[in-house]
């Protein structure tokens, strides 16, 4: 236990933790900024949405390490190449869920909104996005957890983060350092999962929450 506590007191522990969080947060924000508008853009066409979802599903099938390996020859070592790789990992789950959620909004509801005189922008902001919000946030949550976990691999292309601590533990055959780094990444992933789960519940419209409870009964 003392050896594990010493790991958290290392001079480089905090800096590696900060880099890991920075990589994860920035990659997720960029992923949302790319994937959500793309999903909105194709949401009017079922064919375009289906194509985008299939492409994103193909992207999800590519392992994290493979994406890092593909980015390295093009962009080299460092924070920026690692960020690009993590953004590529962040986009598919958000894009899939956002496209699916927007497609699932009932056409009857949209027709009723048009009948009330709402513009396309108002229908999107007041009808589609609130109804699709639970599915969209589920995608963001999945993406966030995946990015936090995959950021550990950024150390292999010089991106820094907690992966450096884990690799150092392997190099020195020091179990305490390995466990310290792995445990911190696991805790970050759990915190991310719980936090985005709370956000998902917060942004789910009250009517949808009530409907879910009734269906659960």
Letter string b/e over residues 156-190, b meaning 16 or more CB atoms within 10 A of that residue's CB: bbebbbbbbbbbbbeeeeeebbbbbbbebbeebbe
pLDDT(70) > 60: yes
- Which tens digit of pLDDT belongs to each residue from 73-82? 888 788 888 8
Please give the average per-residue pLDDT across 75-100, as a whole number: 90
Q: Please choose, from the candidates 48, 137, 144, the residue with its C-alpha nearest in 3D space to the C-alpha of residue 98.
A: 137
The mean pLDDT value of the chain amounts to 85
Q: Please choose, from the candidates 119, 122, 127, 80, the residue with its C-alpha nearest in 3D space to the C-alpha of residue 101.
A: 127
- Which tens digit of pLDDT belongs to each residue from 136-163? 999 999 999 999 999 988 888 888 888 8
Q: Please choose, from the candidates 197, 189, 191, 109, the residue with its C-alpha nearest in 3D space to the C-alpha of residue 147.
A: 189
* Percent above pLDDT 70 for the chain: 93
Per-domain boundaries in the chain: 2-216
Residue 217 has what pLDDT? 44
pLDDT(206) > 80: no
Q: Please choose, from the candidates 67, 119, 70, the residue with its C-alpha nearest in 3D space to the C-alpha of residue 92.
A: 67
- Residue tagged 């639970």 (tokens): 134
CA dihedral 188, 194, 196, 197 (to 10 degrees): 160
pLDDT tier at 22, thresholds 50, 70, 90:
very high
3-class SS of residue 37:
helix
For the domain spanning 2-216, the CATH number is 1.10.3720.10
């Amino acid at each position: 236990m003392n050896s594990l506590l010493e790991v958290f007191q290392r001079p480089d522990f905090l800096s590696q933790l900060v880099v890991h969080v920075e990589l994860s947060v920035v990659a997720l924000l960029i992923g949302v900024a790319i994937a959500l508008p793309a999903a909105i853009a194709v949401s009017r066409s079922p064919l375009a949405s289906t194509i985008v979802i299939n492409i994103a599903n193909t992207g999800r099938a590519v392992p994290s390490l493979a994406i890092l390996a593909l980015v390295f020859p093009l962009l080299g070592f460092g924070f920026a190449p690692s960020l690009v790789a993590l953004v590529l990992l962040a986009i598919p789950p958000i894009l899939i869920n956002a496209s699916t959620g927007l497609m699932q909004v009932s056409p009857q509801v949209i027709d009723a909104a048009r009948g009330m005189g709402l513009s396309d922008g108002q229908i999107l902001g007041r009808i589609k996005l609130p109804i699709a919000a639970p599915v969209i946030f589920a995608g963001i949550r999945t993406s966030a957890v995946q990015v936090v976990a995959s950021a550990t691999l950024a150390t292999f292309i010089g991106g820094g983060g907690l992966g450096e601590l884990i690799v150092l533990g392997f190099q020195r055959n020091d179990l305490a350092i390995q466990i310290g780094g792995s445990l911190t990444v696991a805790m970050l992933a759990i915190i991310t999962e719980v936090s985005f789960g709370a956000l998902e519940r917060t942004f789910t419209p009250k009517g949808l929450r009530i409907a879910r409870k009734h269906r659960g009964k």
